[in-house]
Amino acid sequence: MLQFFLSSWRSGFRNRVFLAVLLLGVALVGVAYLSASFSPRQPLTVALDVGLSGLRVSLVLFTITLVQDLVGREIEQRSVVLTLSYPTHRSAYLIGRYCGVLALAGVAALILGLLLWIAVMMSGANYDQQFRVQLGLPFWVAVFGVWLDIAVVAAFTLWIATLSTVTMLPLALGAVFAIGGRALGAVFDFVSRGADGQVDLAARYGPLLDVIRWLLPDLSRLDWRAWPMYGLLPDLPTMGLAAAMAVAYAMLMIGLAIHAFSRREFS
């Protein structure tokens, strides 16, 4: 497993995707810095909000593309047959690749998080807003929440890559999963509160959402930006449950990926 992790690590740094995503992340951090000028009262809060959203977008694109390159493309081109000819279990191959992707995503998150930290600090250089953002532990906890979010998306994309025979399917479904998982919480809250008085809408889609709730994780629970932005400390048990949900779902996806990959025939 270690050899697959190290090869993923080296391939990721040599991959143009890593550089492209870093450039995209830098551009989005620049957008976050510029967005602060559009808020006369809370420039640091606006910059941090936009920056964290840009950080997640960059990391989602990075992870799903990297999973496709390191696993999906090898399966498609049958180069994985040579890898699996060595005396090693297929699960070691997948777990090593997955851990390599997570490590690379962690490096990217640290780099972009540091750039965002600098951008937010510069945004408030000439303005002292009433409610200061918290760029210490709360900020890095929010970045860690984004990384956990990405870990779930990467595990789902890995599972799709082991099943797919279509080149772009893991990328497409991984992106849809990332968007749907983050929007799930808002949709649940909207319907559970009566859908703004639309009783028929709540009655029609409520049962369907109850089923979806058990199939897809609510990734919005990993969005802890309210702490660094407004100083609102999240409920610690709730944070713990959200983190446990992310780890459990990622392990489930990896288990499904191993099962599918072990039964797949390569000719």
Mean predicted lDDT score pLDDT of the chain: 81
Say which range, 57-61, 88-92, 111-115, 185-189, has the weakest mean pLDDT.
185-189
Prediction pTM value: 0.86
213 pLDDT tier (thresholds 50, 70, 90): low
Using CA atoms, how far residue 170 sits from 105, 152, 211, 234, in Å, is: 17, 14, 23, 33
Percent of the chain with pLDDT over 90: 25
User: Measuring CA to CA, how many Å separate 51 from each of 133, 139, 149, 221?
Assistant: 13, 11, 16, 18
Segment 24-67, tens digit of pLDDT: 778 877 887 777 777 666 778 888 888 899 899 989 998 998 89
pLDDT at res. 22: 74
Element (DSSP H or E) covering residue 235 = none
SS (H, E, C) 180-212: HHHHHHHHHHHHHCCHHHCHHHHHHHHHHHHHH
Is 57:159 a contact under the CB 8 Å cutoff? no
Q: Record the tokens describing residue 249, joined without a space.
A: 């779902």
Q: For the purposes of burial, counting CB atoms within 10 Å of the CB of 173, is it exposed (0-12), middle (13-18) or buried (19 or more)? A: buried
